[in-house]
Structure 1
Amino acid sequence: MDTRLANTWRLTVNEKRFIETALSSGIRIDGRNPFEYRKLSIKFGREDGSSEVQLGQTHIMGFVTGQLVQPYRDRPNEGTLSIFTEFSPMADPSFETGRPSESAVELGRIVDRGLRESRAVDTESLCVLAGKLVWAIRIDLHILDNGGNLVDAANIAALASLLTFRRPECSLGGEDDLEVIVHPPEVSDTVD
């Protein structure tokens, strides 16, 4: 874990006592009751595959894109799913610009694991031409404000973005019926 982020978890004796007293009294710093959820707001963007999630004071934007790529050799009939997280320094003073921190990478892994294990994305349905072309789905999560509970907010943003994502329809054509034709969204309903 990032050293600066890890250091924020070291508490003084007074801080620990304050937390224990607050918990036993049934109060939280943000004024919520012990079992009260953070307020959730989900906005879907104008573009397919985009969403904006606010969970309490945490604010995340999600974007899903797809492109045709060659499949991995050991999975010729499956597309791919990748999660990328970006921690804005404006979201939290402990976040830095540049390469993704260990915390950003770990958050991406947690979201990735949740999507894969829940089978939210059927990677076999992303196959266009076995062994030749599959869809590579990329989810970008931009943390704009860190008000706590990043894992839940990031998972919700990823799922909300996936809900609105429409991969283009493809068909095979050409002389040998092995040329992949990608159809724009406005004509995809008529593709057989």
Structure 2
Amino acid sequence: MEQRLANTWRMTVNEKKFIETALLSDLRIDGRGPFDYRNLTIQFGRDDGSSEVQLGQTRVMGFVTSQLVQPYRDRPNEGTLAIYTEFSPMADPSFEMGRPGEFAVELGRIIDRGLRESRAVDTESLCVVAGKWVWSIRIDLHILDNGGNLVDAANIAALAAILTFRRPECTLGGENGQEVIIHPQEGHITGVLLDLDINWHIH
């Protein structure tokens, strides 16, 4: 991703000289030495499944939500995982409002691939009724400030949000034993899912 972005940038002569001078002086633009790490701060939100990460001057917020959906036909016993990134012009002047740009799309793909290949989320444990109902996990990443190294900051924000997330417990009930009953953390029944139709009964 960084290579693609580098291909779209054109540095001026003054910018090149500035970078060369900084390298010779063993300094980075933010004042760090060549081997100094960015300071990392992780804050877990009060709401379940949220986090805020600051890595140097970069800040990213992560939110995890879930809903019951029908599984893919070729993976009837697995839940789904989706990553969405939101870039604000306030975080970086190069970001535009509206449709996600190439940078946002590719960042989401990198985070998605890392979580899947590391098996940070066990998709088989998200199955409720094989072939009928599985949990779909969505991770929203909001870029608040872009001070460099967005990949690491977004990865950490996604993992931190997942660590605080707890999906609702489910049980099977009803006359035919195929009704999925969702239990909130308080222990009260909030809804009943009947086969392929969702009918909510609030108590």
TM-score, reference length from structure 2: 0.87
Corresponding residue of 1:98: 98
Corresponding residue of 1:26: 26
Corresponding residue of 1:131: 131
Secondary structure, aligned partner of 2:31: coil
Partner Cα distance (1:135, 1:103) in 2: 28
> Does 2:118 align with 1:121?
no
Corresponding residue of 2:194: none
1:7-33 Cα distance to aligned partner (Å, 9 max, x none): 872112332232233223211111111
Corresponding residue of 2:70: 70
Q: What is the correspondence of 1:123-162 to structure 2 with a 5 Å cutoff?
A: 123-162=123-162
**Gaps (5+ residues) in structure 1?**
none
> Does 2:87 align with 1:87?
yes
1:126-153 Cα distance to aligned partner (Å, 9 max, x none): 0000000000000000001111111010
Partner Cα distance (2:131, 2:162) in 1: 25
1:31-84 Cα distance to aligned partner (Å, 9 max, x none): 111111111111100100000111111111100000000000010000000000
Secondary structure, aligned partner of 2:187: helix
Paired residue type of 1:155: N
Partner Cα distance (1:16, 1:78) in 2: 50
Tell me the C-alpha RMSD between the 2 structures.
1.6
Runs of 4+ in 1 over 4 A off after TM superposition: 5-8
Partner Cα distance (1:171, 1:70) in 2: 17
Q: How many residues in Structure 1 have an aligned counterpart in Structure 2? A: 185
> Does 2:67 align with 1:51?
no
Partner Cα distance (1:114, 1:36) in 2: 25
Corresponding residue of 1:180: 180
Corresponding residue of 2:61: 61
Corresponding residue of 1:112: 112
TM-score, reference length from structure 1: 0.92
